[in-house]
Structure 1
Amino acid sequence: MQITVHPYDLPLANPFRIAHESRTVQPTLIVGLTEPSLGLVGYGEAPMTRYYGLDSATSTAELLALAPAFAPYKTLEPTELHALLDEHAPHLNPFLRCALDVGAHDLWGWRHAQRTGLLWDQEQSRRVPTCYTIGLGPIDEMIAKLRAFPWPVYKIKMGRGDDDVAIIRALRAHTTAPFYVDANTGWTARQTIEYSTALAELGVVFIEQPLPPADLAGAREVHQHSALPIFADESCQTEADVDRCAEYFSGINIKVVKCGGLLPARRMIARARSLGLQVMAGCMTESSVGISGIAQLLPELDFADLDGAMLLAQDPARGVTFDPATGFAQYPDRPGNGAWLVG
């Protein structure tokens, strides 16, 4: 089996702002796993997100250094891939592990001539819409983005402080769609509890990660007194975080790149369900390669934020898309994860 790495700079359609940063371009690596004997290539993706300490040159070198370990294998099941990585690269960054995991799942689907999600035990009649994210900015700019992109449910980035409720009130005047609010650790416990009542009245469904992960006392207070459910994001990055989150949150947002792939993500979903937590899956700014992999999880979720490719001015791939009337996934008629490179 061979590893190839394709670096891209993904241009965003609009500047994307959250509480921590603003960006107009997202570097990413699209990783190919090739089975030469079968002529098959499976694709995964690792966004080179700056605030997670990733850069394209170093990450490419780490991935290509694994080539000798992969070479003896004609094929690799996803479970075998993780066993190989545990042996040869136990400290590999989870974003890179994820790219390999998603590529292995893509190949797995191709070998079985079936879409990846259909090979899992899922309730396929369950359909979950993805939201579309409105990044933080001046209110007029946020309204313009919302009006330019009609969608059945939105995630609104918050975390600026005193005018956050005013932003939701202003946006609500232009749509009846449900809102998810993501404060990106920008609020205090007192602000969260205070805002939650007004936000609930304005059609907000839940609040995502209002406090820094270290503020456990604040998280407990918010969990007890918020008028809205609170979902963990930065507080729930790996499988080891799920049990702790049950004490402080109503749900978790799983980022497949942070936990190391679809295999660990599905274990996180199962554990969250056993603890009575609701489950969301989110994305980074990714091409259709990454989004198509995460979209295989949709029937197992309560909520989804898979709009990464929709935020791009140019996508080097094609794959799963979403119906603008419903937000539901539209899967290409092809095996695996359904993504392919076009540029």
Structure 2
Amino acid sequence: MQVQVKKYTLPLKHTFSISRESHDFQDTMIVSLTLDGKTGYGEATSNPYYNITTQSMMDEINAISSEIENFEFTKPEVFHAFLVSKGLSNFAICALDLAAHDLYGKLLGKPLYEIWGTSIEKYPTTNYTIGIASIDIMLAKMQEMPWPIYKIKLGTSDDVAIVRELRNHTDAIFRIDANCAWTAQETIHNAPLLKELGVEFLEQPLKADDWSGMEEVMHHSVLPVIADESCIVESDVEKCALHFSGINIKLTKCGGLTPALRMIKKAKELGISVMVGCMTESTVGISAIAQLIPQLDYVDMDGALLLKSDIATGVQIDPDGKVIFPKLAGSGVQLLD
């Protein structure tokens, strides 16, 4: 099995800001795995919050490239276990695991959702993310991209007023992501005001390790609260079930589709809602997420929609949120260059 890694810098349509950072470009790493004339593609982006760079991931993979090439590939789950045994970061494992799943589907000639026994007749609509900016810029982004559901990034001193002004210009559903910027008291205070403004749920309002604060929020918030930064890996699901209404799984953080499938199953067993979210990434990563949507309650897979230009073809998303799946098997990905 041949392995290749390559760095890309993805240009964004607009400056993207959350409570802790802003950027105009996103570095990402694409992995390709080739076997029997078929090539699978996977992706993982750099992430300063987790001290991950494209170079660090590429170094990890290059260090074991000969072992990967000599690995007898059968199923993605077996390959994933091998990668974990090598001590790679979850981000690097994610890129390889996504490539392995895409390759596996292409070898079988079936899309992943079909291999997993799910149907794409019904699935949740992805939100479109509006980063922190001035009201005028946030409104301009909404007008540029009319969408049925918006995720609004907050974490300012005037968050409720921002949502109130945005509500004057759209009937779309709102989801709020404070990216750890609020306190428990702020969350409890803001929740009823935001509910009146058509907010569906709050995502990670408190710092990731503020479990006592989240317990207080769970007892008093009138809106559901979804874990993001508090839910990284499989072992976090059970703890989050005691402190959140649901979880947002990020493939890069948990290590790919293999653990994500187990996290979805565990969350459903525990009776909490399941969301899968994206990074600002290309169609390579988004197409992998799309394979999971029949199993989800919510999805945030707008990463490629935020780009000025893409590097791959695969799953497409219409302006009304409808997902168009490619005829190509696996995740349906093909690089443009």
Q: Same fold per TM (> 0.5)? A: yes
Of residues 157, 165, 168 in structure 2, which corresponds to 1:173? Answer: 168
Residues 277-288 of structure 1: pairs in structure 2 closer than 5 A: 277-288=272-283
Which residue of 36, 39, 44 corresponds with 2:37? 39
Look up the equivalent residue of 2:319 and give its one-letter code. P
For residues 40 and 46 of structure 1, the distance between their equivalents in structure 2, rounded to whole angstroms, comes to: 21
Aligned amino acid, residue 242 of structure 1 = V
Shift of 1:334: 1.0
Residue-by-residue CA offset, 1:89-118 (whole Å, 9 max, x unaligned): 1x2110110111110100111111111111
Q: Which residue of 1 aligns with 2:84?
A: 86
2:260 maps to which of 244, 250, 265: 265
Which among 116, 126, 130 is matched to residue 134 of structure 1?
A: 130
- How far apart are residue 73 of structure 1 and its match? 3.5
Cα deviation digits, residues 45-67 of structure 1 (max 9, x gap): 01011222122223212111222
Q: Is 1:274 the counterpart of 2:272 in the alignment?
A: no
Q: How much does 1:74 deviate?
A: 5.2
Matched to 2:138, the amino acid is M
Asked if the contact 2:84–2:93 (Cα under 8 Å) also holds between the matched residues in 1, the reply is no
Segment of structure 1 superposing worse, 43-52 or 176-185: 43-52
Name stretches of at least 5 consecutive residues in structure 2 with no aligned partner: none
Give the alignment of 1:142-291 within 5 angstroms.
Answer: 142-161=138-157, 163-291=158-286
Distance 1:86 1:17 in 2: 33
Q: How many residues align?
A: 337
Report the equivalent of 1:10.
10
Per the TM alignment, residue 72 of structure 1 is displaced from its structure 2 partner at its CA by 2.3
SS at match of 2:120: coil
Residue-by-residue CA offset, 1:254-294 (whole Å, 9 max, x unaligned): 00110001010010011001111000000011100011011
In structure 2, the CA distance between the partners of 1:76 and 1:100, relative to structure 1 (3 Å rule), is: farther
Q: Shift of residue 84 of structure 1?
A: 1.7
Give the Cα separation in 1 of the matches to 2:22 and 2:69.
40
Q: Could you tell me how far apart the structure 2 residues matched to 1:23 and 1:246 are? A: 33
Tell me the TM-score normalised to structure 1 length.
0.96
How far residue 323 of structure 1 moved from its aligned partner, in angstroms, is 1.7
Secondary structure of the residue aligned to 1:14 is strand
Quick one: distance in 2 between partners of 1:237 and 1:73?
28
Aligned match of 1:342: 336
Whole-Å separation in 2 of the counterparts to 1:249 and 1:58:
33
Q: Shift of the alpha carbon at 1:215?
A: 1.4
Which residue identity lines up with residue 54 of structure 1 in the other structure? I
| Root-mean-square deviation (Å) | 1.1
| Kept after mapping to 2: 8 A contact 1:76/1:104 | no
Q: Aligned with 2:30: secondary structure? A: strand
Name the SS of the counterpart of 1:92 in structure 2: coil
Which of 300, 308, 313 is matched with 1:313 structurally?
Answer: 308
Native 8 Å contact 1:26 1:49 kept in 2:
no
Whichever residue aligns with residue 53 of structure 2, its letter is D
Following superposition, the deviation at residue 338 of structure 1 comes to 0.9
- SS of alignment partner, residue 70 of structure 2: coil
Partner of 1:60: 58
Q: C-alpha displacement at 1:152, in angstroms?
A: 1.1
Please tell me whether the aligned partners of residues 44 and 103 of structure 1 are also in contact (alpha carbons under 8 angstroms): yes
Q: Which runs of 5+ in 1 are unaligned?
A: none
Partner secondary structure for residue 194 of structure 1? helix
Counterpart for residue 323 of structure 2: 329
Whether the 8 Å contact between 2:232 and 2:253 is mirrored in structure 1 is yes
Q: Distance in 1 between matches of 2:318 and 2:104?
A: 27
Q: CA deviation at 1:76?
A: 3.6
- Give the superposition deviation at 1:123: 4.4
In the aligned structure 1, how far is the partner of 2:55 from the partner of 2:232?
24
Q: 2:295 aligns with which of 300, 306, 311?
A: 300
Are 1:118 and 2:111 an aligned pair? no
The question of whether the paired residues in 2 share the 8 Å contact of 1:15 and 1:24 is answered with: yes
| Counterpart position of 1:30 | 30
Identity between Structure 1 and Structure 2 (%): 49
CA distance in 2, matches of 1:14, 1:96: 27
- Determine the C-alpha separation between the residues in 1 that align with 2:84 and 2:30: 21
